[in-house]
Amino acid sequence: MTLPQIAAVVVAAGRGIRVGGDTPKQYRRVGGQAVLTRTLAALAAHPGVARIQVVIAADAASFYDECLGDLASEARQKLARPVEGGATRQASVRAGLTALARDGDPDLVLVHDAARPFVDDALIDRAIAAAQSHGAAVPGVPVSDTIKVVEPDGRVRETPERESLRAVQTPQAFRFSLLHEAHGRAAAEGLDGFTDDGALAEWAGLPVAVFPGDLRNRKITQAADLVEADRAFSPELLSESGSAPAAQDDAMTLLTRLGTGFDVHAFTEGDHVWLGGVRIPADRGVLAHSDGDVVLHALTDAILGALADGDIGVHFPPSDPRWRGASSDQFLADAVRRVTERGGVIDHLDITVLAEAPRIGAHREAIRSRIAEIAGVPLSAVSIKATTTEKLGFVGRAEGLAAQAAATIRLPEEARA
């Protein structure tokens, strides 16, 4: 199967005057690097993104060159020569699409704001998948505030139901040919006021899907956003993965929730066990319907508990033959998806394995890395420990092994189940 050619247009031609100062916000430094540098590094780090077309203002060449000086050489290799933007965002995106077409149309294109440096691989993955499935898709997060539609005289016309509302972010994702054609049609008709490519696609008659966005994917708009981004990207707070932790924002009204989980499996014949998504050699296996990964099962229940959304048996019943021998990473990934769809974030995952054998010390970091990968969190957000039960109980008698887990997540207040 041929992989799609994916390009990105990064819109960096704006002035960003609301943050104050003479330097546009995309060139202001956070954690020692320009916002645009952070954004380009995040996009370039994704293996699926092959080309990045940046659109800049006519007088911003020196600012842009300074950004490149802080960008890794591997990331610079994905950058096309920047092009000059237009008087509106729509004109700038069209300029970026036209430049991409000169070097051969990609299959998919992501359109991203330069001032969103917190974009990560998980969000880009969802954008690509949505574009492949729907042709036109935008990321959205639940709206936490009550929204009013107001008449010109200030009176309220209506109050939409929040359940049907989403705040739209970038990267927005499209089949390149569809978006390029839509921009051409709009320009031909003299329309140049679309501030969102999803809205332009809707005008062109394209069905536009909304996929789960990420509350961490904030757009830097105000001076306070720069201060918070600078804190988030400060060297002492950067995670082991090199990405920034979620920026804190009281306006989001995110409430912390704690969930716990527990799982146990009896030993049976075999030569390995699965723990935390890692295959560990052992003198016995475990008796289970799926792969019997007590760590991932306990973690899944912990996250579902924090969501008040049942347990693993509700969503993946052992009576269903689809889950016979199934890899448990899909159970944890599904629980994480449920958090994301409610506009939440995972803060920390903590696991304790109870077993006389096998010993997990030599596998600890591999397990942490695999859990972080599945859950889409920094390595520093995953802790795993192991203990025996001092020869007491079924664990002490080496009849089986168990795991207990705790998960802390944050949800918008309105998303609490």
For residue 265, say whether it is annotated as part of any ligand binding site. yes
Q: Is 311 known as a binding-site position? A: yes
CA nearest neighbour of 301 among 355, 246, 269, 264: 264
- Rounded CA separation 172/111 (Å): 5
Q: Is 388 annotated for ligand binding? A: yes
Q: HEC profile for 49-78?
A: EEEEEEEECCCCHHHHHHHHHCCCHHHHCC
- Is 351 labelled a binding residue? no
Is 268 annotated to bind a ligand? Reply is no
Give CA angle at 135 (74, 217), nearest 5°. Answer: 50
290 is in an annotated binding site: yes
264 is known to lie in a ligand binding site: yes
DSSP 283: S
Q: What is the spatial distance between Cα 179 and Cα 131, in angstroms, rounded to a whole number? A: 11
Chain length of the chain: 417
The answer to the question of whether 387 is labelled as a binding residue is: yes
- ∠ CA 126-128-134, rounded to 5°: 95
Q: Is 376 annotated as a binding residue?
A: no
Question: Is 134 labeled as ligand-binding?
Answer: no
**Is 297 annotated as contributing to ligand binding?**
yes
Is residue 348 a known part of a binding site? no
**HSE toward the beta carbon, residue 17, CA cutoff 13 A:** 1
390 in a labelled binding site: yes
Q: Which residues contact 175 (CB under 8 A, 6 or more apart)?
A: 107, 108, 109, 131, 135, 136
Supply φ then ψ for residue 24, to 5 degrees: -55, 150
Are the CB atoms for 172 and 111 separated by under 8 Å? Answer: yes
Per the CB < 8 A criterion, the answer to whether 212 and 340 are in contact is: yes
Residue 92: what are its φ and ψ, rounded to 5°?
-70, -45
Tokens 């994916």 locate to 6
Residues annotated within a binding site for a divalent metal cation: 263, 265, 297
Binding residues: 263-265, 289-290, 297, 311-313, 387-390, 394, 397
